[in-house]
Chains A and B, each alone.
Chain A
């Protein structure tokens, strides 16, 4: 009887965790499949939705599919550029919102929240409507994609940096000024190092949002092909296995960055 009760209690204690882990597995199954398929040799069959034979060739020749690597490079270019601009503008705005009181601050907060709460299809078609109405309908491409990406990354940057800034004790800056640091020195010696993790996280988020965006990009890209658009284009015909290589690499790089950062902070605390 007590054994049964103990078993019941054990299940009660661990049931939620077990279910949570199951959800976690659900989230990772597709990624595991992507990794697996990056080693799939489908040269003997046209079926791209089943694992046929093991091969290294997708990894050895990632650029074999026509236009894929160009699309990846273009996505990286747009991603870096959009990240740079969005991170700078967004960080400045976050400082304004946290550290300065000005007329229209709450309105600004609302406008910043809206892009995160609007369906991409609506934002994308609005932007397209603007470009068409202002005569850029025929000149869609790199620049219009860049504009769109900065637009939707901005809100995420502002929110991320704001969170970090809000958690920053203003006493620290006052302490620095009390200890003979000028405003400039205070910013670079105290404020910036403490806000930097937030800025870095915002930049990482921006890049991945930009690199991954399809719906808004597709509406405003004209003839320019980004990596997600390439995938969309080939998805109808059957994707080349090298797409899975790119997916795997993206996943590994981001895990490396995020886990590395986590271990670094943990080590600092433990030291």
Chain B
């Protein structure tokens, strides 16, 4: 069945969107364009303004200033029931007094669409709940309710489907399954999905584009790989996965290489990944990019090579082993090593050398808080 919107799908554009509440500003002058047909994720810790942004798009919250456009139409102050936008609510918000069939039919009936029963049946087939049509929501499991909520929104063929932490209430296994399911449905129907989540893994698994929000503003926007490999801020570096951030000062910035002095060690960073070109900065490297070898043994990585590390902690987690290595200047670096069996697991107290390929490292301005985004996930 074709669920593609009747109209040609249009892009969603937020311009200088701001929402102030009595005591705080939830969203500050946000600019954002979501291309038609994309799977877009707003990622951030709780209180970062992502849900408020979503609710403004849905029409459930009135912006303090700024505008929201769908294609060329402004919908900033349009009532929620007059915009071609539907929402999958965080706790599903299924109507407890209506059965599943009527829940899914709700939007169609309000718009006086003909042929409701057939459409509902098809929709329930899509989410594999045909047999449950007569049940009431409280009699269903969390995963089933989630699919009903999705069906109830999708059946209206909105130009934009908003998903507010739609998988938050599910357990880990079900969440993984639903992530794949959601992605499949989005690809199938080709609608624009805007997905709000605090789960970075969920955002990276599903979205084409992620906007990382913090404190009411977008810190960085891009494809999952782009954000992960080349974060522009310490917040993104810490919130999306983990990072080692090491203090250093720029020694030279010529051509396409920036050289940084890091506690007496010279490291080089590609210019397009250096977000500071002079003065102090944080050298960033992802733990899985850090290679270890017992002191003096060769490491397969040309370039940045540091000596004098001591293994202070070893955690075996099956697919990998996670090390903490204390460097001569006192900082502990994280290193994740795949358990390929190439070398025995290093014991605590082993003296090691540390190395990484220059093209994996990045440089962030020292003005940013080195701990931003640490442990804020949850």
Contact = CB atoms under 8 A, between A and B. Distances in A.
Nearest to A185: B110
A178 to B, nearest CB: 5
A175 interface: yes
A151 interface: no
B60 to A, nearest CB: 5
Interface in A165-215: 169, 171-172, 174-182, 185, 189-190, 193-194
* Listed residue (B85, B90, B107, B110) with the most chain A CB atoms within 10 angstroms of its CB: B110
A6 to B, nearest CB: 39
Give the bracket for the number of chain B residues in contact with chain A: 20 to 34
A268 interface: yes
Contacts of A268: 136
Nearest to B152: A179
A60 interface: no
Contact of B156 (A177, A180, A185): A180
A107 interface: no
Interface in A215-244: none
A133 interface: no
B89 A174 contact: yes
Contact of B107 (A174, A179, A194): A179
Contacts, number: 64
Interface residues of A, number: 20
Contacts of A174: 58, 60, 80, 87, 89, 93
A117 interface: no
Which DSSP category, helix, strand, loop or mixed, fits chain A's interface? helix
Contacts of A190: 95
A19 interface: no
A50 B300 CA distance: 106
A269 interface: yes
A175 B111 contact: no
A180 to B, nearest CB: 4
A171 B107 CA distance: 15
Interface of B: 58-60, 79-81, 85-87, 89-91, 93-97, 106-107, 110-111, 136, 138-139, 152-153, 156
